[in-house]
Amino acid sequence: MIIRLYSGLLAACMGVAFLITTPAADARPKVKTKTQHYRVDGSDAAAIVSSMMKQHRLLGGHGRVGRTKMKRRIEWEFAETKKSCRVKSHTIRLDFTTQLPRHRAEKRLRRSLRRDWRAFAKHVKWHEAQHRKIWLSCARKAEKKVNRARAKTCSQLLTKLERIYKRSNAACDKRHAAFDAKETRRLGRHPLIRRANLRQ
């Protein structure tokens, strides 16, 4: 009987380019989600976007207006016989931390600008939620493969499980990248960004 812990910390961010600068139970992953906000200033669109860009260190790089970090902890227990080894129990724990923008004085913005800002902030929140969904989907697919895995020895099984998660990570990264590429183009057409580019 072996218990193995497998941990990792991953992150996905919303980035924008601006013109201005079986035997094992098939249980769902255990999930915790925490939301943090960073403060945004500015009384016009250009100033608001500039304020968000100044927060890039908090979010890990230039151009990021939202970020979701995921800490993963995997626990599995093996059942071994003379001829084989299987997964007896398998638990995935995912802890998400999402960082989103919040304007310091939203109510003081002009009505049309406030409307565009709220729509933008709502979109950023939606975007980060999609990253969370992608991770959950990847975790569930990996979990099913783990629960079906078999090997002659537990050492061989352990190698197989680590390979499953390595491939899962690679596939998940591609899904995040494809989603971000599509969304970056879409966000560039958002009314708030268009206002900023026109310096309105």
- pLDDT, tens only, 54-63: 876 555 555 5
For residues 134 and 96, give the distance between their C-alpha atoms in angstroms, rounded to a whole number.
12
Asked if residues 135 and 29 have their Cβ atoms less than 8 Å apart, the reply is no
Report the pLDDT value the prediction gives residue 32, as an integer from 0 to 100.
93
Asked if residues 95 and 71 have their Cβ atoms less than 8 Å apart, the reply is yes
Asked if residues 107 and 123 have their Cβ atoms less than 8 Å apart, the reply is no
Q: Give the pLDDT band (50/70/90) at residue 19.
A: very low
For residues 37 and 124, give the distance between their C-alpha atoms in angstroms, rounded to a whole number.
12
Asked if residues 53 and 40 have their Cβ atoms less than 8 Å apart, the reply is no
For residues 45 and 194, give the distance between their C-alpha atoms in angstroms, rounded to a whole number.
9
For residues 181 and 185, give the distance between their C-alpha atoms in angstroms, rounded to a whole number.
7
Q: 41-95, pLDDT tens digit by residue?
A: 999 999 998 898 887 655 555 557 888 999 989 888 888 888 899 998 888 899 9
Using a cut of 0.85, tell me whether the model's pTM lies above it.
no
For residues 189 and 53, give the distance between their C-alpha atoms in angstroms, rounded to a whole number.
17
Is pLDDT larger for residue 200 or for residue 184?
184
Asked if residues 77 and 91 have their Cβ atoms less than 8 Å apart, the reply is no
Q: 163-194, pLDDT tens digit by residue?
A: 999 999 999 999 999 998 888 878 778 889 88
Asked if residues 29 and 71 have their Cβ atoms less than 8 Å apart, the reply is no
Q: Give the pLDDT band (50/70/90) at residue 2.
A: very low
For residues 136 and 163, give the distance between their C-alpha atoms in angstroms, rounded to a whole number.
19
